[in-house]
A and B are shown apart, each in its own frame.
Chain A
Amino acid sequence: MDMNTIEEVVATADPAAWRPGDAWLAGGTVLFSYGSSTLRRLLDITEAGWEPVTITADGLELAATCKVAELYALPDRGDLPTRWTALELVRLCCDSFVASFKIWNASTVGGNICTALPAGPMTSLCAALDGVATVLEPGGASRQLPVAELVVGDARTSLAPGELLRSIHLPAAALESRVAFRRLSLSNLGRSGVLLIGRLAHDGGLVITVTASTRRPVQLRFAAAAVPGPGAAGPGAVVPGAPGLDAAALRSALDKAIPAELYHNDIHGLPQWRRDMTYRLAEEIRAELLGTPNQTASERA
């Protein structure tokens, strides 16, 4: 819709240019969808010319302005290391958008993360792959933090006013893991009510990332080697015993990691359903990754 209070669109990606009443404009598919009656300027970061995807030995660098359509095309590239098996998540996550492929021609990876909806599939993807965000600060400095900690609640991020998400680094170690993907929605191809991604590392460590059903991403980490003590669960918390992780231990870990009030409650799913589905899908992931090694995520999606 028209943003009728906007007086100027400024091409800049410099946080120093930001002032109250400004909003960073990437694809614009969220800003122009919800509209605003208070914003005065849009700071257009898409003309900064950031390389959408950079491949290095360390992993993948996704610019905040990488369009979803560009990300979707990524697996077709010929220069990707074949051992990055987790890249099969890319299309599964893109297809988890309630928005159609046409929106992907404009909307961006960074925009989806910064919108911080529980069902944001780029948050699911980047959090599940231990993505690390680089954030530009108004003073010229930058800081880094896990994507799983950038999104802190429904439509809430840990970004300060004027801070700008520059890129997300997906580490090679995560990209090399075997993954399992599960999603449920109240309608066919609708907005995710529950989206879980499991990742089994070469060393046997298992990470299950819960999104959509919870207000913010929740990660359960089960180390390869048994680590004594149950530990406080939360983003990055370590729970013992991936190789021997049984259903009961998984349930217990979920109990600890996700208090009832952390389950999201909106029109896209009742919290009790989201909770039960989280347990159900987590168990399916556990069984798939620790039980039957030959099945891929896409076959089950």
Chain B
Amino acid sequence: MAMDINGTPHGNEPRPGACLRTFLREEGMLGVKKGCDGGDCGACTVHVDGVPVHSCIYPAVRARGKAVTTVEGLAADGTLHPLQEQFLAAQGFQCGFCTAGMLMTASTLDDAQKENLPRNLKGNLCRCTGYRAIEDAVLRVSTESMSADRAGACGDAAGGHAAGRLSAASNPAADSHAAASNPAADSHAASGHAAPVQPVAGQMGANPGAPAGRAVVTGTARYTLDVDPADYPGLLHMKLLRSQHAHARIVSIDTAAALRLPGVHAVFTHKDSPRQLFSTAQHELYTDDPDDTLVLDSVMRHVGQRVAAVVADSVHEAEAGVRALVVRYEVLPAVLDPEEALRPGAPAVHGDKDAAASRIADPARNTVAELHSELGDVAAGLAAADVVHQETYTTQRVQHTALETHASIARVDDAGRLHVRSSTQTPFLTRRALCRVFGLAEEDVRVVAGRVGGGFGGKQEMLTEDIVALAALALRRPVQLEYTRTEQLMASTTRHPFTIALRAGARRDGTLTALAVDVLVNTGAYGNHAPGVMFHGCGESLAVYQCANKKVDAKSVYTNTVPSGAFRGYGLSQMFFAVESAMDELAVGLGMDPMEFRRRNMIRPGDPMLSTSPEPEEDVHYGSYGLDQCVALVDDALHRGAERYRDAGLADLGPDWAVGSGTALSMIDTVPPRGHFAHTVLELLADGTFRASVGTAEFGNGTTTVHAQLAATALNSRAELVSVRQSDTALTEHDTGAFGSTGTVVAGKATLLAAQDLAGEILKVAADGSGAAAAKCRLVPGAVDCAGTLMPLADVFKLAPTFGRTLRTEGRWGGTPRSVAFNVHGFRVAVNTGTGELKILQSVQAADAGVVVNPRQCRGQIEGGIAQALGAALYEEVRVGPDGAVETDILRQYHIPTFADVPRSEVYFASTHDSLGPLGAKSMSESPFNPVAPALANAIRNATGVRFTRLPLARDVMYLGLKAAADSVGAG
């Protein structure tokens, strides 16, 4: 016997170098997740003889003769472990990819360890939740009854879980955060709004848990690679050889040695590639992105680009094949910096492309897209200003770091149809892209997404599907490719780095007179999302302010670096960092409260929303407007927070600590432009429950719950009586995809329309069947009340054919007209001027999401957005070295926020009802990210007097910046 797994002996012997995680998954324990493969994320945590270990760095041979427990073994005889129940009660997950590891860690903690969760959970990374819900789950808090108005009250002030042991030099007041959060048990509800109608359980405004919850906490939810090997007989594995050069032409690839190795089936090179150029970016209109990419190219444009693909019986044989490839390159001069890329004579990254055919603005000058506009007269506006602010702001590369890496499996069935199972936000668009690249008909390609382990925009790309399809079509065998965490960091996509030279002016009365930005966007080696991110970035960030004089000069340029791509916020987080920092500076220059300055200049209902065009977007409307409420909610909360600190005697943290507060706002269109389509099929089933088939993918965004709630509301049912099937091109006609925050407002709207129709159809059948007047029939959960007599829905189902009716309806929505959503963030911070340490004393966000479908879940989206934004504001940077290679290629070099880094945030919702969204709802998934970094920079400015213009605001950078500022004051 090799080892005991969950009480069952397993006789297979692990390979000598295998880690325990791989062995356990081979033995069928698919709940054990591979997140980082380096011991950092904890998703693979299991118990060996009762002791928790990270199974990805535990030699499998060492577990011989021992007893291993995985998440599958946590529940006993079908009875959930208490922690599994707690994770359901608090919904301590979103995508759920980290959940097995969280459970296997938390289940070993004693009460003393639970007192210090920052320390004891720092080895478990979650990218979705921001950890509040996980803390609640571990500490046995149920959040089922949380209401929209109470959501804020539930988020206590001051960094509850960042208040663990800080570094040695930190002020002892750090530990007083806990004390400060007691006075923060602030029962203040969103002020000035009528109390909402008590929501009906399982309908709009209630908090049903995610339908996949039980599968997530038991480790049975099936992510992309959690497949039964029996479904993929003869499965082969692919590994990629990646370029070491930032710019090179392949002279030759000698595959002979690789092909001679045992287990190697094939090597694919540029000679095997289809010639169709495409973009990895996925949009409703493929013409939104330049055609500049091949499945396999003979020119390498960044370190990490695919050179060749080796397909073998196993991953380790494919790896050996990759090592055996001999490639000769002609190394070409490379350009790594976007400013240099624009200079005459700079190497042209895509100089071989035809501008018109590939839709590249100027390939010879590395310019993918550009935008020049002026509304009014900026020069005159600046001349009329009493205060002018001029500064250059810089944002860095950030990686999405979804815990599930890019992965897909392709197979060809007996009829010759291509099936691709992928970790994607856009199964339908990926199908279309595959058809275009390989010249296939849509009916011959099926793309399916299982549960997706996080997206954040990173999976609005086709990064693995094309190459596995190439191999599967050639070999007629199933082929799988899974990115390593290092591949994810060095060679997938990042947020676009922006350099924003900004000029803005204001009059003494607080009127914004001019706002001009000169924006340089680095799209890296490929132009996926280059135009879209640039245009969108310069949209709502400028439109949110009334200003007669606005000017934009923007370019998105190629460099020989890792490609940029879609990232939560889609250009807005970068632009709002600059714009909201500038608004703060103008207010400071005027001696005006920054929030008051914003109040005077931000758009009000009816104001045209203008950025780069003299006419507003014709399909964007004020479906509802809650920006004013958000500003007031954050302002009030910050004042209360300051009072709490004062009352608790904690306002003074000591001589080294400078305290201040700052705010920022943001706006986002609720749907991307130029069409976003969704299709829902809704059916009444024989057992009287409903089934929705939708296109949109579930990756922790919670849209599955939203679909169920919207349908349940229209059908006067409950969410748990509506099952949802999704993200399979064989189920529905078309779905543009789960991006652009469209899960609720587009896909949800399609479901709502289908449900409203179905409700009508059901009532007709019930009326006909019961003889009651149609007006006397109404839906109740599980039945139709026919003038006082209940007709179970199962009976309605049986009756329907009698009356020639099919209780199956369809809903479609095209994503237009669109509305606007708002987020405002506020921080109170303390900065240690002697060390650069930062303490977040209070974090507040107010959101205008219209009518909130599921307050608990929406709060989770906001908290997760705040946490991810804090990572981008404080720590994260994908660094590119002088040779063009990414240096931060493991999670120990690319620090994403841990439990210890994220404060609890207060979350408030504005009270608005959107006239365009489903049942009054608006989008709320990308946007909570956008105001966080500028609010933090403004708080630091307020505390220290120093304006930081580059992200991230790391402690070393802050310390040195404060020191330089002090020195220059001293010298002056």
A residues with a Cβ closer than 8 A to B are 1-9, 25, 28-29, 32-34, 37, 42, 44, 46, 95, 98-103, 105-106, 181-191, 193, 266-267, 269-270, 272-274, 276-277, 280-281, 284, 300-301
Contact = CB atoms under 8 A, between A and B. Distances in A.
Given A2-B18, A103-B123, A105-B51, A28 B57 contact: yes
B122 A269 contact: no
Nearest to A47: B62
A5 B317 CA distance: 10
Contacts of B286: none
Given A9-B61, A102-B42, A186-B954, A4 B898 contact: no
A300 B893 CA distance: 28
B164 interface: yes
Given A2-B17, A188-B166, A281-B168, A102 B900 contact: no
A149 to B, nearest CB: 26
Contacts of B120: 100-101
B835 interface: yes
Interface in B11-47: 15-19, 22, 37-40, 42, 45
Contacts of B122: 100, 189
B123 A99 contact: yes
A22 to B, nearest CB: 13
A44 B58 CA distance: 13
A270 B960 contact: yes
A-B interface, 10 closest residue pairs, ranked by CB to CB distance from nearest? A100-B123, A6-B17, A3-B17, A4-B316, A273-B956, A32-B57, A182-B168, A188-B900, A1-B37, A189-B900
B705 interface: no
Contacts of A34: 38, 890
Between B105, B120, B484, B835, the greatest number of chain A beta carbons within 10 A of the residue's beta carbon is seen for B835
Contact of B58 (A7, A32, A272, A274): A32
A280 B834 CA distance: 8
Contact of A183 (B164, B168, B874): B168
6 contacts: A3-B19, A29-B39, A95-B165, A105-B51, A188-B162, A189-B122
Contacts of B37: 1
B874 A273 contact: no
A200 to B, nearest CB: 17
Given A34-B38, A102-B42, A103-B54, A300 B123 contact: no
Given A2-B316, A42-B17, A267-B888, A186 B57 contact: no
A251 B59 CA distance: 47
B104 to A, nearest CB: 9
Interface in B174-197: none
A29 B37 CA distance: 11
Nearest to A297: B168
A102 B105 contact: yes
B119 A184 contact: no
B323 interface: yes
A154 to B, nearest CB: 13
Contacts of B15: 2, 6
A186 B22 contact: no
Interface string B871-883: 0001101010000
B292 to A, nearest CB: 31
Contact of B39 (A33, A183, A281): A33
A32 B887 contact: no
A33 B56 CA distance: 8
B53 interface: yes
A275 to B, nearest CB: 10
Contacts of A281: 168-169
B167 interface: yes
A181 B168 contact: yes
B959 interface: yes
Contacts of A188: 118, 162, 164, 166, 898, 900-901
Contact of A182 (B45, B59, B169): B169
B214 interface: no
A189 B165 contact: yes
A94 to B, nearest CB: 11
Contacts of B733: none
Contacts of A272: 956, 960
Interface string B833-844: 011110000000
Contacts, number: 174
Contacts of B40: 33
A273 B959 contact: yes
Interface of B: 15-19, 22, 37-40, 42, 45, 51-54, 56-59, 61-62, 105, 118-124, 162, 164-169, 315-316, 319-320, 323, 484, 834-837, 874-875, 877, 879, 887-888, 890, 892-895, 897-898, 900-901, 954-957, 959-960, 963
A175 B717 CA distance: 70
A11 B209 CA distance: 50
A300 B54 contact: no
A70 B161 CA distance: 27
Contacts of A301: 165, 168
Nearest to A69: B51
A25 B59 contact: yes
A267 B169 contact: no
Given A189-B122, A270-B956, A184 B59 contact: no
B19 A184 contact: no
Contacts of A3: 17-19
A47 B600 CA distance: 73
A266 B889 CA distance: 13
Nearest to B118: A189
Given A1-B38, A102-B53, A277-B959, 17 more contacts: A7-B17, A8-B16, A9-B16, A29-B57, A37-B323, A95-B165, A106-B57, A184-B835, A185-B167, A186-B895, A187-B897, A188-B898, A189-B118, A189-B900, A193-B956, A273-B836, A301-B168
Contacts of A32: 19, 39, 56-59
B733 to A, nearest CB: 41
Between B890, B894, B895, the greatest number of chain A beta carbons within 10 A of the residue's beta carbon is seen for B895
A230 B686 CA distance: 92
Contacts of A184: 167-169, 835, 837, 955
Contacts of B18: 2-3
Contacts of A269: 956
Contacts of B888: 267
A74 B564 CA distance: 49
B42 A100 contact: yes
A158 B750 CA distance: 67
A277 B58 contact: no
Contacts of B484: 1
Contacts of B956: 186, 193, 269-270, 272-274
B62 A28 contact: yes
Contacts of B834: 280
Nearest to A300: B168
A181 B169 CA distance: 9
Contacts of A103: 39, 53-54, 57, 123
Contacts of B119: 95, 101, 189
A32 B22 CA distance: 12
A4 B320 contact: yes
B54 A5 contact: no
Contacts of B168: 181-184, 281, 300-301
A190 B899 CA distance: 11
A189 B892 contact: no
A134 B875 CA distance: 39
Contacts of B121: 100
A273 B53 contact: no
Contacts of B51: 105
Contacts of A181: 168
A107 to B, nearest CB: 9
A183 B58 contact: no
Nearest to A284: B169
B34 to A, nearest CB: 9
Contacts of A9: 16-17, 59, 61
Contacts of A44: 59, 62
A100 to B, nearest CB: 2
